[in-house]
Structure 1
């Protein structure tokens, strides 16, 4: 995971690897510090996320309280049918009003 320099009230986070309760801490820190710095928009590039469980979904839903959260690079549904926890359905959940 890497955080690009904040710019124009937005933070871009490039996520990679797997996200579950044991590996979520660096992303949570990036989200938490964005709130401290009055970042309005949080953009998460999830192209390189191999797996995510409900811990990531919970973090995204919580982040919506403070930020305009955008997800970039979601995989089409069904690309990894053997892996539970894919992000393909998260966009429907995240698209509602804040």
Structure 2
């Protein structure tokens, strides 16, 4: 059994899977896509959001906010896991722009939001269309 490059003794390199938009081959890092819809910036995340992977989202989010986006929808419908660092990121984002979160939330994420009571604070909507419509109306 080998554990790295036989010639250099280096550990194996974990590459990026281009097909998943930047997620590690194991599929754990979040995939982030960005688009504009009805005058609202939309970030779609998928995969897992934890203390390690949330750092992959920060540069994209900073680009959106630095571009002057005053309305933002974060689509979490494809996020299978989130922890307190993801909640922290969303709460910090809420202080910088009008934030809406799109679902439907996966069971673990929905439970986290329910237990923490954060659903109302983050303007969680059942669908992406509902979230974009609400953000466009600035509600």
TM-score for the superposition, normalised by structure 2: 0.55
Q: Residues 10-48 of structure 1: CA distance to partner in whole angstroms, max 9, x if unpaired?
A: 211111111011101222112111121000111111111
Instruction: Report the CA distance shift for 1:29/1:9 in structure 2 as closer, same or farther (over 3 A).
Output: farther
> What RMSD, in angstroms, separates the aligned Cα atoms of the two structures?
2.6
- Which runs of 5 or more residues in structure 2 are unaligned? 1-30, 124-139
Match of 1:90 in 2: 118
How far apart are the structure 2 equivalents of 1:53 and 1:74?
A: 17
Residue 58 (structure 1) aligned with residue 94 (structure 2): no
Higher relative contact order (CA 8 A, sep 6+): 1
Match of 1:46 in 2: 76
- Which runs of 5 or more residues in structure 1 are unaligned? none
Larger radius of gyration: 2
Count of residues in correspondence between the two structures: 91
TM-score for the superposition, normalised by structure 1: 0.75
